[in-house]
Amino acid sequence: MSDNTVVRITDVKRTYFMGKVEVNALSGINLKVGKGEFVSIMGPSGCGKSTLMHIVGCLDRPTSGHVLLDEVDVDELDDNNLADIRNKKVGFVFQTFNLLPKLNAIENVELPLIYAGVSFEQRRKKAAELLEIVGLKDRMFHKPTELSGGQSQRVAIARSLANDPSIILADEPTGNLDSKSGEEIIRLFQELNSRGITLIIVTHDQEIASHSKRIVRLKDGLVVADEPVK
Amino acid sequence: MINLIEPLKIAFGSILSNRLRSLLTTMGVIIGVAAVITLVSMGEGAKSYILNQIGSWGVGSNSITINPGAENSHSIELTLTYEDAQALRQKVRNLQYLMPEFVGRGRLAYGKKEYKPGYTLGVSADYPFAYKQKAVEGRFFSQAEDSGRKRVVVIGKTVARNLFGEFSAIGENIKINGVGFKVIGLLEEKGTMLTFDMDDMVLIPSTLSELVLGTNKIWEMFITVEQDDQVPQAIQEIKKTLIARHRKEDFHIHTQQGMIDIVNNILNAMTGIVSAIAAISLLVGGIGIMNIMLVAVTERTREIGIRKAIGAKRRDIFFQFVFESVLITMSGALIGIAIGTLAAWGIMAYLKLEAVIAWSAVYLACLVAFLVGTFFGVYPAMRASALDPVEALRFEV
């Protein structure tokens, strides 16, 4: 059973200080995501969705509690090892795409491979394959400014897949897109999921969430509902 | 193993995508390095030229120059006479050549043509050997002609051209300040030295200086001895002889080596000053680079966040920014070296001298630029590498 668990979060709390005011972003979250799952995390703004994503993605550390990623205890890792995890085990997709504007599509997709130490020829080949999968074969050498929002997000998704991660984390991936592009992105996620890729997306769009397989609802830093999509 | 090639490539790409700003950032370094390379190359050129000149004028380190006036005195009183020169010819052992030089103004006349040469000198028959300038046409006057007060003259190319044009000067009679002379020789061409035309010269026997030039005082006396190691002993004998005649030391003595030492000292001091200026300008340039790098880190906070989110380690970010700083500085140094070399070459070509590329200054400039780039790049790079990824991603410009 443990073989299939990609993310296991136990009693995770995260406290910020906004000036002198203590803010409890997460107040004790328990969550388990298995291999091949497609989970939506929903909830009102300020409920801790993004903080949870950052902690799962090893961009941030919990104030207390445990995070296991692929059965590796993340708490005990130093900064360098966390960077390795972000590089190889996690693929991030952001609401604002977060592509590097000076690099073209294929160079953006290559970035995680550079930090993984992959040779130029291999990463070119891999990046080209990924861009083909997301349907941007003919846009490989375009800069982000020459791409539409939907296309930019596809590049970002290709980038997140570069090192064959255990999980893709998407934080409001359709939030900056029109409904048609958003629909295309969610279909791409469904297709990736059908190939066995584990996905967690944060969204507040019920329509988007209904395309996933399981919906987790947060409120005030706690899980208030966790049910499969009918 | 730390891979440094990729951060280097990233830094290079970043500089290329910001060409103008990178250029302006490193302008201080460019100017500093260019100034140093120009000045040092010119200095080296001047040094080798002056040393060459000293070498070609004197016979070498066996030569001694005696100037009138006491050491460090500012008077221009001419204290040495033809008789002093004759006395030295008697008293100094191992004497090879002795060349007193009387300087005056000459007005030349050939028929109705008149010409005022740059230099009219009274010299001894040792002139062609002492100064290594022979007569290429005709001959130089002999010692017998000098002591016999023969009215013979040897002239330079410029004088000959002005007075005789295309025709041979040898055997022609001319007047110098109204005194009749026969031209017996044409001097080998020397060219210009620091814009002075060395061929615009007329040489008459030293014994006629008083009659023609109105002076019996020696401007400078040039002596050579047979062997280099006889110089100190010769100096002692010169001093002894002249002090015995004058009852005081109203002259001073230079040697070839002394002159070379002086030239070297002056130019080394100049190089030192230039280096100090360079150090200051590189320091200022370095601070400019640090300033821009700090701005770049702030401006690229989001980029740093993105890179960290997809797996860049602290050291990846650190090296990216340090390399950027070093590359910018080094490019500045290289551009500065190119500009400095061209400028030195141009200025020296204008002065009709040869610039000597100061390789030591080139290597030093590269090394210093590397150190400046590293030193002033480390702090911004540390700031960049220490950024928290979540906050960096949230950062809005």
Span B86-140, pLDDT tens digits: 899 888 888 889 999 999 888 999 988 899 998 899 999 999 888 888 888 999 9
Element (H, E) at B314: helix B314-350
A98 lies within 8 A of chain B by CB: yes
Q: B393 CB near a chain A CB, below 8 Å?
A: yes
DSSP B142: P
Q: Which of A80, A86, A97, A130 to mutate to test the interface with B (most CBs of B within 10 A)?
A: A86
Q: Residue A223: beta bridge partners?
A: A218
Residue with tokens 């002795």: B98
Say if A125 is an interface residue toward chain B (CB within 8 Å): no
B303 contacts A94? CB cut-off 8 A:
no
Domain-embedded: residue B275: yes
Q: Are residues B236 and B352 in the same domain?
A: no
Continuous segment of H or E residues that includes residue A25: strand A21-34
The predicted pLDDT at position A3 comes to: 64
CATH topology of domain A35-61+74-228: Rossmann fold (3.40.50)
Q: Do A83 and B303 touch (CB under 8 A)?
A: no
Nearest to A156 by CA among B393, B46, B131: B393
Work out the number of other CB atoms within 10 angstroms of the CB of residue B107: 13
Query: SS3 of B395, please?
Result: coil
With an 8 Å Cβ cutoff, is B134 touching chain A? no
* Residue B1 pLDDT: 47
> Looking up tokens 């050498």, which residue turns up?
A141
Specify whether the backbone of B114 is left (phi greater than 0), alpha (psi in -120 to 50) or beta: beta
Query: How many beta-carbon contacts under 8 Å exist across A and B?
Result: 62
B323, part of any domain: yes
Residues B177 and B233 grouped into a single domain? yes
Given this model, what pLDDT does residue A82 score?
93
CB B185 within 8 A of CB B140: yes
* pLDDT reported for residue B36: 86
Q: Is B175 in the same domain as B90?
A: yes
A116 close contact with B: CB closer than 8 A: yes
Assess whether B240 and B285 both reside in one domain.
no
Dist CA A8 CA A2 (whole Å): 10
Which of B6, B17, B307 lies nearest to residue A102, judging by beta carbons?
Answer: B17
Nearest CA to A7 out of A210, A161, A216, A173 is that of A216
Q: Tokens representing B390?
A: 């979540």
- Confirm if B171 and B183 have CB atoms less than 8 A apart: yes
Tokens found for residue A117: 């130490």
Alpha-carbon distance A164 to A159, whole Å? 10
B228 in the same domain as B312 = no
**One domain, residues B113 and B191:** yes
Q: Return d(Cα B209, Cα B149) in angstroms, integer.
A: 10
Number of H helices, E strands in chain A: 7, 10
Beta strands in chain B (DSSP E): 63-68, 80-81, 95-104, 108-110, 113-115, 119-123, 135-138, 152-155, 173-176, 179-187, 192-193, 196-197, 201-205, 217-218, 220-225, 251-255
**pLDDT tens-digit profile of A199-230?**
999 998 899 999 999 999 999 999 999 999 87
Q: Which residues of A touch B313 (CB under 8 A)?
A: 79-80, 83-84, 115
Please give the tally of structural domains in chain B.
2
Give the domain extent around B159. Answer: 78-249
The reply to whether A111 touches chain B by the CB within 8 Å rule is yes
Give the gyration radius of chain A's Cα atoms.
Answer: 17
Torsion angles phi and psi, residue B260, rounded to 5: -60, -40
In whole angstroms, what is the distance from residue B141 CA to residue B4 CA?
76
Same domain, B106 and B230: yes
CB B304 within 8 A of CB B392: yes
Report the interhelical angle of B359-385 vs B256-299 (nearest 10°).
Answer: 20
Q: Looking at CA atoms only, how far is residue B301 from chain A in angstroms? A: 12
Can you name the residues that pair with B63 across neighbouring β-strands? Answer: B224
Q: With bands split at pLDDT 50, 70 and 90, how would you rate the model's confidence at A106? A: very high
B72 found inside a domain: no
In a domain, B73, yes or no: no
Nearest to A50 by CA among A186, A202, A153, A205: A202
- Coil, strand or helix: which one is B76? coil
pLDDT for the residue numbered A42: 94
State whether B203 and B341 are in the same domain: no
How many angstroms separate the CA atoms of A111 and A115, rounded? 7
Q: Confirm if B254 and B69 have CB atoms less than 8 A apart.
A: no
Q: Would the CB atoms of A59 and B308 count as touching at under 8 Å?
A: yes
Q: Test A98 with B309 for CB contact under 8 angstroms.
A: yes
- What is the ipTM, given to two decimal places? 0.94
Q: Same structural domain for residues B114 and B222?
A: yes
Q: Is residue B194 part of a domain?
A: yes
Instruction: State yes or no: pLDDT of A101 exceeds 60.
Output: yes
- Nearest residue, CB atoms, A87 vs list B10, B17, B310: B310
Partners of A117 on chain B (C-beta within 8 Å) are 3
Evaluate whether B74 touches B378 at the Cβ level (below 8 Å): no
Backbone angles phi, psi at B85, to 5 degrees: -60, -45
Distance from the A87 Cα atom to the nearest Cα atom in chain B, whole angstroms: 4
What are B21's two structure tokens? 């700003």
Residue B254 counted as domain residue:
no
Confidence of residue A1 (pLDDT cuts 50, 70, 90): very low
Contacts of B307 in chain A (CB under 8 A): 111, 115
Q: Could you read off the pLDDT tens digit of each residue along chain B, which spans 397 residues?
A: 467 788 888 888 888 888 888 898 899 889 888 988 888 888 888 888 877 776 665 457 788 888 888 877 666 788 888 889 889 988 888 888 999 999 988 899 998 889 999 889 999 999 988 888 888 899 999 999 999 999 999 999 999 999 888 888 899 899 999 899 999 999 998 887 667 788 899 999 999 998 898 888 999 998 988 888 888 899 999 999 999 998 888 888 888 777 778 888 888 888 788 878 878 888 888 888 999 999 999 999 999 999 999 999 999 999 999 999 999 999 999 999 999 999 988 988 888 888 788 888 889 888 988 999 999 999 999 999 999 999 999 887 6
Strand B179-187 relative to strand B192-193, pairing: unpaired
pLDDT, tens only, A175-198: 999 999 999 999 999 999 999 999
C-alpha distance from B304 to closest chain A C-alpha (Å): 10
CA distance B51 to B56: 9
Residue B263 maps to a domain: no
Within 8 A of B303 by CB-CB distance, chain A residues are 100
Contact assessment for residue B224 and residue B96, using Cβ atoms and an 8 Å cutoff = yes
Among residues B66, B59, B72, which one has the least CA distance to residue B87? B66
* Structure-token match 């210093």, residue found: B368
Which residue from A60, A103, A111 is facing B310, i.e. has the nearest CB? A111
Residue from A17, A53, A58, A98 to probe the interface with B (highest B Cβ count within 10 Å): A98
Residues B101, B224 within the same domain: yes
How far is B319 from chain A, CA to nearest CA, in Å? 13
- Angle, helices B301-309/B314-350, rounded to nearest 10 degrees: 130
Cβ distance of A84 and B316 shorter than 8 Å: no
What's the Cα-to-Cα distance from B106 to each of A11, B69, B109, B375, rounded to whole Å?
Answer: 110, 25, 10, 65
Chain B residues with beta carbon closer than 8 angstroms to that of A115: 6, 307, 310-313, 316
DSSP B141: P
A193 neighbors A36 (Cβ within 8 angstroms): yes
Q: Are residues B36 and B110 in the same domain?
A: no
Strand order of the sheet with strand A198-202? A90-93, A167-171, A198-202, A38-42, A214-219, A222-228
d(CA B268, CA B262): 10
Flag if B308 and A83 touch (Cβ within 8 Å). Answer: yes
On chain A, the residues whose CB falls within 8 A of the CB of B302 are: 98
Do the domain assignments include residue B70?
A: no
Specify the pairing of strand B113-115 against strand B196-197: unpaired
Is residue A216 within 8 Å of A225, Cβ to Cβ? yes
Query: Do B308 and A86 lie within an 8 Å CB cutoff?
Result: yes
Domain boundaries, chain A: 35-61+74-228
Which of B310, B319, B395 is the best residue to mutate to test the A interface, defined by the most A CB atoms within 10 Å of its own CB?
B310
Q: Which amino acid is at B343?
A: A
Task: Give the pLDDT confidence score for residue B59 in this predicted structure.
Answer: 53
CA distances to A51, B141, B358 from B295, in Å: 29, 78, 36
pLDDT recorded at residue A174: 92
For residues A43 and A15, what is the distance between their CA atoms, to the nearest angstrom?
Answer: 19
C-alpha B73/C-alpha B146 separation (Å) is 32
Q: Which of B249, B281, B315 is the last residue of a domain?
A: B249
Nearest CB among B3, B311, B315 relative to A86 is that of B311
Phi, psi of B322 (to 5 degrees): -65, -45
Whether residue B148 sits in one domain with residue B179: yes
